[in-house]
Structure 1
Amino acid sequence: MPSLADLTPPIALGSLDGRYRRAVAPLVDHLSEPALNRTRLHVEIEWLIHLTTGEVVPGAGTLSQDEARSLRGLVEEFDTAAIDELAAIEAETVHDVKAIEYFLKRRLTDRLDNRGDLAELVHFACTSEDINNLSYALMVQGAVQRVWLPRATQLVEQVSGMARELADIPLLAHTHGQPATPTTMGKELAVLAWRLSRQLARVAGAEYLGKLNGATGTYGAHLAAVPDADWQQISHDFVTGLGLTWNPLTTQIESHDWQAEVYADIARFNRVLHNLCTDVWSYISMGYFAQVRGQGTVGSSTMPHKVNPIRFENAEANLEVSNALLDVLASTLVTSRLQRDLTDSSMQRNIGTALGHSLLALDNVSRGLAGLDAAPERMAADLDANWEVLAEPIQSAMRALAAAGHPGMDNPYERLKELTRGRRIGQAELVEFVRGLGLPSEVEERLAAMTPVSYVGIAPDLVAHLRAE
């Protein structure tokens, strides 16, 4: 039997690069190993251009606009050949960033008509982490802002749309698993949409920090080479020119605190989304939603009647995997032994997997929601079977009357408890009880006319708090 590891093309070990590739493919352009090398090349090229354009190093050559454009083209044209060449160089250097440096130095000769005079300005005064921290900041920024955030925003808009559509559909609430004060399906979905929106706002407002200050953050090599340059300003202008926030105080590494912040916010979004999945799953089990649209699939291999809520179950699992990774990223990346250790190097290579499982969950939830139809008649049937939930408004009205000095309104809670606890009552029993309380006629008629379906407060109006984008 041949080993599966020896088959060509290579078989993916992880599910994201195998079974679920379609849903997460957009992240490959931002958080894969080739994306890391392409972004490193981008940073190295921009640093070279920054040094030569500003004549930072006295007497060094400069790049023309055409030459700078040609070098930037290396990033745009980054392809399989470049990936293979870098792999071959790294096999010799056993150092990934040094491989980028050598790759770029080669291009100064063969692409810029022998500008080898600039070779020693490639990676000038940089430690590897100067390149890596900027690269990861740009990669995560791109992955979050261009892939994850738009997809998450689209899902929240989908939930918000459902909330508006179902704003007036009465629903028997359940607190502690027991029948409780009625609400509407739209209002309950609006609560989840509101929570998700708050987390999206935090993610959208994230800062992406970067540094370029040498081996221990002191600009030691920079000043030793060119003592008269304002290296802090040069570093600031370069980092901000990349679209990042400059971090002025670091060790060898940029501290990664911003990463921990972003991952914590995404993880919190994931947890709220997980809550949505479990709630919708429960509503499906109660019959409040029917899975009818786009269900040409097999629900159960043995029970033909079943349509399993697999989209929400799949999403739950992927959200849990995503959060396990996001949590360990956030907790580990903020710590580095003294001025530098390499735990972050291996850890950061899991960012794509963490975001990938979240992106896969977003896809599943969206597809799951798109296949649902609300079942108002089923919700109404549960409401009609639970008239005892009207004990709350009746005893509340009695309390208000008692406070106003109306006679005969003593012990309202206890009287409704005796009527309703541990047994089911219907409309007739409740109306009979109300009419025997001696209420003012207006209050009596209002309470006698109340039904579980009508007892939803201002739930439909609360959905308006979801502002249409």
Structure 2
Amino acid sequence: MQSLADATPPIALGPLDGRYRPAVAPLVDHLSEPALNRMRTHVEVEWLIHLTDGGVVPGVRRLSDDEKDRLREVVTTFGPAEIEELAATEKVTQHDVKAVEYFLKQRLGQIAPDQADAGLGELIHFCCTSEDVNNLAYALMVKGAVERVWLPKAHALLEALTGMADELRAVPLLARTHGQPATPTTMGKELAVLAHRLRRQLGRIERAEHLGKLNGATGTYGAHLAAVPDADWQQVSRSFVEGLGLTWNPLTTQIESHDWQAELYADLARFNRVLHNLCTDVWTYISLGYFAQVRGQGTVGSSTMPHKVNPIRFENAEANLEVSTALLDVLASTLVQSRMQRDLTDSSMQRNIGTAVGHSVLALDNVVRGLAGLDAVPEAMAADLDENWEVLGEPVQSAMRALGAQGVPGMDEPYERLKELTRGRRIGQPELIEFVRGLGLPAEVEQRLTALTPATYLGLAPDLVDHATTPGDQSAGTTQESTPA
């Protein structure tokens, strides 16, 4: 049998680089191995410029604007040739960050070829341990991936979901608590609950801090002070890290402690779990016939049953959310641990960030496409409501309780009386009206309760959708007409 490992071009081992590549391709610019080397190059270039612009090392000239532009161009033009060159260098150095250092020294020699500038190359990676470069590179990579790829997709999902919630705000729905018929709600309100939950997690993710450090082999600035004792190295470090758009971490071992990463991944995982909840709920609504999958569904639902249109987008999203969440959980739990001042578990673990975020991006893509293919079927929801008049036992006994508290006679044991009427049996409108009219209620209350139907027993459900569609206003919405209990 021919070995597929020898095929050209190489066959992807995992699905993100195989069948799902189009959906996650934008993450390659942020969380791939070449993206890591490009960001390392960026950090090394900016550190060299920072040192020379600030006159940190006495006697070293400032780089000209043209030289700085050409150095930064090494980063902006970083492509296949540079990837190949770095790979060849790393085979010699057997060290990825050292390969970047040698790569940049060679480029600097072309940009500033004068023999008098030969020493400038020694300021590339000056007083840095590899983790000084890596922690900053990863912080910038993760920040870029979340802000430029993941968040736009999450906001697109939220926009689609809140749009559906608003559209379906007043469509009555039989609720099911513990899988049993329960107090009616609206489809819009139930989707709004999920939208509100997702929005809260998005807010946490958007407020995330991305920390960085540059302080040497064990976080003491030992080499820095030995080389240039008169420099204010804490300020030099802080201004550099903050200049990259990160938050400076003043106190670390050899590694930046990665706590911020653990916090971010926990929030991403929580978002995933809420989104998983949305997938299972929508899947169930589809199975109940509350949604029809008709728009854009030119797919084969079953290989043998032509009538079927399977909810594959939501099932695919569930699986990818589970993979993503599992990886985010292990990243969050592992990255906060480090033996003494340094071990390399974090180095291997961080190479899986792209996979963790990629499966979440893929799930977001599937859910958005799945929602776009749904049409609500209010008739199916109404039919279920009409089959469950017993859910009106709640408002009747609640009204009796209120009257009993006011001293109206004949309102004793309301819960028990409604339980006897409704538990374990189906009732319809005639049975409920007969029961209500036999209670001796005040005329206004009797009229209100006999006019009630499962489809009109909605409380404030339509109004509550406003909390998801206009999240800036958390006050109570304007009261629409709905029949109170």
Structures share fold, TM-score greater than 0.5? yes
| Residue 55 of structure 1: how far off its partner (Å) | 1.1
The separation in 2 between residues aligned to 1:226 and 1:467, in whole angstroms, is 57
For residue 69 of structure 1, what is the amino acid of its counterpart?
Answer: D
The separation in 1 between residues aligned to 2:367 and 2:124, in whole angstroms, is 47
1:201-280 correspondence runs (5 A): 201-280=203-282
> Given that residues 387 and 426 in structure 1 are in contact (C-alpha distance below 8 angstroms), is that contact kept between their aligned partners in structure 2?
yes
The separation in 2 between residues aligned to 1:334 and 1:43, in whole angstroms, is 23
Specify the SS of the correspondent of 1:16: helix
| Residue 468 of structure 1: how far off its partner (Å) | 4.3
For residue 452 of structure 2, what is the amino acid of its counterpart?
Answer: M
Specify the SS of the correspondent of 2:161: helix
| Residue 157 of structure 1: how far off its partner (Å) | 1.2
> Given that residues 166 and 469 in structure 2 are in contact (C-alpha distance below 8 angstroms), is that contact kept between their aligned partners in structure 1?
no
| Residue 111 of structure 1: how far off its partner (Å) | 3.0
2:70: which partner in 1?
A: 70
> Given that residues 108 and 116 in structure 1 are in contact (C-alpha distance below 8 angstroms), is that contact kept between their aligned partners in structure 2?
no
> Given that residues 61 and 117 in structure 1 are in contact (C-alpha distance below 8 angstroms), is that contact kept between their aligned partners in structure 2?
no
> Given that residues 274 and 315 in structure 1 are in contact (C-alpha distance below 8 angstroms), is that contact kept between their aligned partners in structure 2?
yes
The separation in 2 between residues aligned to 1:112 and 1:301, in whole angstroms, is 66
The separation in 1 between residues aligned to 2:391 and 2:352, in whole angstroms, is 50
The separation in 1 between residues aligned to 2:425 and 2:169, in whole angstroms, is 30
Task: Find out whether 1:5 has 2:5 as its counterpart.
Answer: yes
The separation in 2 between residues aligned to 1:296 and 1:147, in whole angstroms, is 28
For residue 38 of structure 2, what is the amino acid of its counterpart?
Answer: R
2:57: which partner in 1?
A: 57
Specify the SS of the correspondent of 1:373: strand
TM-score normalised per structure 2: 0.96
| Residue 60 of structure 1: how far off its partner (Å) | 1.8
Unpaired runs of 5+ in structure 2? Answer: 472-485
1:309-458 correspondence runs (5 A): 309-458=311-460
| Residue 465 of structure 1: how far off its partner (Å) | 1.0
Aligned length: 469
Q: Per-residue displacement from partner, 1:13-53 (whole Å, max 9, x unpaired)?
A: 00000000010001000000000000000000000001111
The list of structure 1 runs, each at least 4 consecutive aligned residues, that deviate by more than 4 angstroms after superposition, is none
> Given that residues 311 and 367 in structure 1 are in contact (C-alpha distance below 8 angstroms), is that contact kept between their aligned partners in structure 2?
yes
Aligned Cα root-mean-square deviation (Å): 0.8
1:284: which partner in 2?
A: 286
Q: Per-residue displacement from partner, 1:224-257 (whole Å, max 9, x unpaired)?
A: 0000000000000000000000000000000000
| Residue 467 of structure 1: how far off its partner (Å) | 3.9
1:124-203 correspondence runs (5 A): 124-203=126-205
2:111: which partner in 1?
A: 111
The separation in 2 between residues aligned to 1:357 and 1:60, in whole angstroms, is 48
The separation in 2 between residues aligned to 1:334 and 1:149, in whole angstroms, is 24
Q: Per-residue displacement from partner, 1:290-313 (whole Å, max 9, x unpaired)?
A: 001111100001111111101000
> Given that residues 172 and 181 in structure 1 are in contact (C-alpha distance below 8 angstroms), is that contact kept between their aligned partners in structure 2?
yes
2:36: which partner in 1?
A: 36
1:464: which partner in 2?
A: 466
> Given that residues 209 and 246 in structure 1 are in contact (C-alpha distance below 8 angstroms), is that contact kept between their aligned partners in structure 2?
yes
Specify the SS of the correspondent of 1:10: coil
Specify the SS of the correspondent of 2:8: coil
1:99: which partner in 2?
A: 99
For residue 246 of structure 1, what is the amino acid of its counterpart?
Answer: W
> Given that residues 193 and 468 in structure 2 are in contact (C-alpha distance below 8 angstroms), is that contact kept between their aligned partners in structure 1?
no
Specify the SS of the correspondent of 1:222: helix
1:14: which partner in 2?
A: 14
| Residue 109 of structure 1: how far off its partner (Å) | 1.3
> Given that residues 176 and 182 in structure 2 are in contact (C-alpha distance below 8 angstroms), is that contact kept between their aligned partners in structure 1?
yes
The separation in 1 between residues aligned to 2:469 and 2:326, in whole angstroms, is 32
The separation in 1 between residues aligned to 2:183 and 2:393, in whole angstroms, is 9
The separation in 2 between residues aligned to 1:74 and 1:444, in whole angstroms, is 81
For residue 71 of structure 2, what is the amino acid of its counterpart?
Answer: L
Specify the SS of the correspondent of 2:16: coil
Q: Per-residue displacement from partner, 1:269-326 (whole Å, max 9, x unpaired)?
A: 0000000000000000100000011111000011111111010000000000000000
| Residue 423 of structure 1: how far off its partner (Å) | 0.5
Specify the SS of the correspondent of 2:175: strand
The separation in 2 between residues aligned to 1:231 and 1:181, in whole angstroms, is 65
The separation in 2 between residues aligned to 1:346 and 1:99, in whole angstroms, is 18
Q: Percent identity?
A: 78
Q: Per-residue displacement from partner, 1:372-419 (whole Å, max 9, x unpaired)?
A: 000000000000000000000000000011111111111110000000
Q: Per-residue displacement from partner, 1:126-168 (whole Å, max 9, x unpaired)?
A: 0000000000000000000111011101101110110000000
| Residue 59 of structure 1: how far off its partner (Å) | 1.1
The separation in 2 between residues aligned to 1:458 and 1:41, in whole angstroms, is 57
The separation in 1 between residues aligned to 2:216 and 2:54, in whole angstroms, is 19
| Higher deviation after alignment, 364-373 or 110-119 | 110-119
> Given that residues 105 and 116 in structure 1 are in contact (C-alpha distance below 8 angstroms), is that contact kept between their aligned partners in structure 2?
no
The separation in 2 between residues aligned to 1:380 and 1:101, in whole angstroms, is 68
Specify the SS of the correspondent of 1:253: coil
